[in-house]
Amino acid sequence: MITFLQNVLDALSLGSLYALTALGIGLIFGVLKLINFAHGDFITFGAYALIIPSSADVAQVLVGGWSWELLIPTVCIAVIAIALASDYLVFRPLRGASPPTLMAASFALSYVIQNAIMVIYGARPKSVNLWPVLGDQTHVGPLTIPNLNLVTIAVTLALMVGMTIVLRRTSVGIQMRAAAEDFRMARYLGVRADLVIGLAFVISGALAAVAALLLVAQTGSLTQTMGQPIALFAFIATVVGGMGSLAGAVVGGFVIGAIVIMFQAYLPPDLRAFRDAFAFAFVILVLVAKPSGLLRAKGLVERV
Amino acid sequence: MSDARSAAVAFLRAAWTPAALVAALLAVVVVASALGAEGGQVAITEMLIRVVVVIGIYVFAGNSGILSFGHIGFMCIGAYAAGWAACDPEWKGLMLTGLPAFLAEHRYPMPVAVLGSAALGGVAATLFGMAITRLSGIAASIATFAFLVIVNSVYANWDTVTAGTSSMVGIPAVVGPWTSLLFAAIAIVVAYLFQISGYGLMLRASRDDAVAAASSGVDIRRLRLIAFGVSGAIVGAAGGVYAHFLGILTTDTFYLDLTFITIAMLIIGGIGSLTGAVVGVLFITLVIEVLRALEAGVTIGGAAIALPHGAQEVGLGVLMALVLIFRPQGIMGGQEVPSPFPPAGSGRLRAGRIPESENGKFVEPVR
């Protein structure tokens, strides 16, 4: 029972990371119908923003050494800047292009960011010790919980609540939801496209920055491909949850996190190496049973 | 007389595109051999194998309008299938204890091994295709990514069958420019025959307007599945040929980098036509070779210039983004090689341009 609870906490923590990422991907998809493959590289960029650009083997921490009140906004601003720059340089010229074209463009963008980071920082992994206090553990009764898991879950919940309030209560949030539902109709009714799209990239970038910090705190190392696996799982999460549904992206993220952790815990030991294969195969089975995902989004079925 | 003549013209008309493409590749091989550049043979062979891969992806993605990021998974499956067939039985007995007897105890020649690769690639694609053809276009694209991850994870960890954590060695490296040219020619002919067949035409119709095609009685799901199977078999065969070119296999070869390069080739050449697929491979190979040379360093007017390591990839990515922005239909714009035998009245042989809306799902109707 205790191990099961422990696993549930692990699943919640991993699911939080996937949910944050899937939400960032889902927001952009909702507004632009763009599957942003570069989201994982936004995360990587956020992590690299902690150190001084150089190809030396030992990382010199700059932003990473600041106090958290200063560090978090700085990394957020850095990632938001690259997200907005990506939109301006790549996606804005492609407004109105078909979803497969947009997807291919974001694939190219991802490749460019990843390799540009390699050109600037060198190919070797670097180690960064961010917030060592999070490595400690808290004991609650018989449970041993890494502080990082608690922080991850708490931060995710806070961001979800915050986003729900923004999306439901503020004017700009309601405009975003309207745009996600039917972009053309929303524009007819006076929603400013640039504002909504820009805001989607800002929020998506901020979510990527938070994911980056949680990831660095967890792994303590930087590589050019560090964001990729998370983004891959998050893509699958958006499909499982139901493409175009923001709640679906979050639910999908937690579902994938739970699947991965439970496979890790309960598969026979010699099959554990195949955990990811089982997780993804399971996801494909879910999709065969429910092709439009767990939460079906409105307004995505083409009407003739 | 006139019957024979018109039959000959009809044949020329039908055979023009594949013949022209094969001739172009032949010319590249001949010129490269004549120049005898160091390492040229290797680069040409790799390029021709990539022609097979990209054509394989094109058979599904080009005809159906659904981008696939998972085809390198079929290449991995095909390559390892060829490895199982062609490795030294002694080594297999030692390292790959999980293989069935007919593979573990025998060694098969390259053509048999490659046939096996194509068969396994085709079967895997058909099975996986049954799942993804149920999804909408864009969700299907993401699901193909899931497939790539599954294949990579399984092949990297299944030690008794793939020597996952180490690598599979001792496959006879018998493939050179001429053998790979033969396979490229076969791929071109197969892809072209598929594209002008009833299946190909109906699938293209569904790509251009899914609703109209479905209401004309086109069974889109079934056609997508057939195309997926055929394209999986072609890419699987390419994997088998690649195994006989490399002689040594690791799963890292068949992952995101190769996926990116092949997708970039297809999109930059033009996803809407077979010619686009071939032109894309030729063009991007040239670009990569030039950037690689620049990374190694060149001397211009006494000044040595060398791009930093990784500049090749950045350049390729920027090029792909630029093509998507300024020429979204790619270099060929969905057209085949211009033919000197214009079709008389029949539009049967002309591959249409892809309209702006490639796959009906999320595209708003143009009014």
Chunked mean pLDDT (size 10), chain B, 367 residues? 76 84 90 75 91 96 91 95 88 80 84 94 94 81 88 87 81 90 95 92 90 88 94 96 92 90 91 92 90 80 75 88 88 83 52 44 40
Rounded distance between C-alpha atoms, residue A231 and residue A23, angstroms: 11
Q: Which two tokens stand for residue A121?
A: 């920082």
Q: What's the whole-number mean pLDDT along residues A267-292? A: 82
Question: For residue A64, what pLDDT band results from cuts at 50, 70 and 90?
Answer: low
Total number of domains in chain B: 1
**Cα distance from A220 to chain B (closest Cα, Å)?**
24
**Cα distance from A2 to chain B (closest Cα, Å)?**
30
Cβ atoms of B71 and B233 closer than 8 Å: no
Q: How many CA atoms does the CB half-sphere of B352 hold within 13 Å?
A: 20
Candidates B147, B362, B367: best to mutate against A (most CBs of A within 10 A) is B362
With b for 16 or more beta-carbon neighbours within 10 A and e for fewer, the A193-221 pattern comes to beebbbbbbbbbbbbbbbbbbbbbbbeee
Strands A221-222 and B298-300, how do they pair?
unpaired
Rounded distance between C-alpha atoms, residue B147 and residue B168, angstroms: 22
Residue located via tokens 């033009």? B270
Interchain CB contact of A271 with B (< 8 Å): no
| pLDDT computed for residue B358 by the predictor | 43
Rounded distance between C-alpha atoms, residue A162 and residue A165, angstroms: 5
Interchain proximity A302–B363, CB inside 8 Å: yes
| pLDDT computed for residue B357 by the predictor | 43
Interchain CB contact of A116 with B (< 8 Å): yes
Nearest to B318 among A112, A288, A292 (CB): A112
Domain segments of chain A as ranges? 17-227
**Cα distance from B337 to chain A (closest Cα, Å)?**
23
Q: What's the whole-number mean pLDDT along residues A223-244? A: 87
Q: How many CA atoms does the CB half-sphere of B43 hold within 13 Å?
A: 18
Interchain CB contact of A246 with B (< 8 Å): no
Q: What's the whole-number mean pLDDT along residues A20-32? A: 89
Interchain proximity A291–B65, CB inside 8 Å: no
Q: What's the whole-number mean pLDDT along residues A143-161? A: 85
Cβ atoms of B76 and B251 closer than 8 Å: yes
DSSP-assigned letter for residue A51: B
Flag whether B99 is in a domain. Answer: yes
Interchain proximity B310–A280, CB inside 8 Å: no
Q: Which residues contact A141 (CB under 8 A, 6 or more apart)?
A: none
C-alpha A27: how far from chain center = 10
User: Which of A106, A188, A115, A288 is closest to B257 using CA atoms?
Assistant: A115
Per-residue pLDDT tens for A80-97?
999 999 999 999 888 878
CB-CB neighbors (< 8 A) of B128 in chain A:
284
Question: For residue A42, what pLDDT band results from cuts at 50, 70 and 90?
Answer: very high
Flag whether B145 is in a domain. Answer: yes
With b for 16 or more beta-carbon neighbours within 10 A and e for fewer, the B5-25 pattern comes to eeeeeeeebbebbbbbbbeeb
Backbone conformation region of residue B65, classed left if phi is above 0, alpha if psi is from -120 to 50, else beta = left
Residue of A nearest to B152 (CA): A277
Residue of B nearest to A119 (CA): B310
What's the ipTM? Answer: 0.83
> Residue A302 above 60 pLDDT?
no
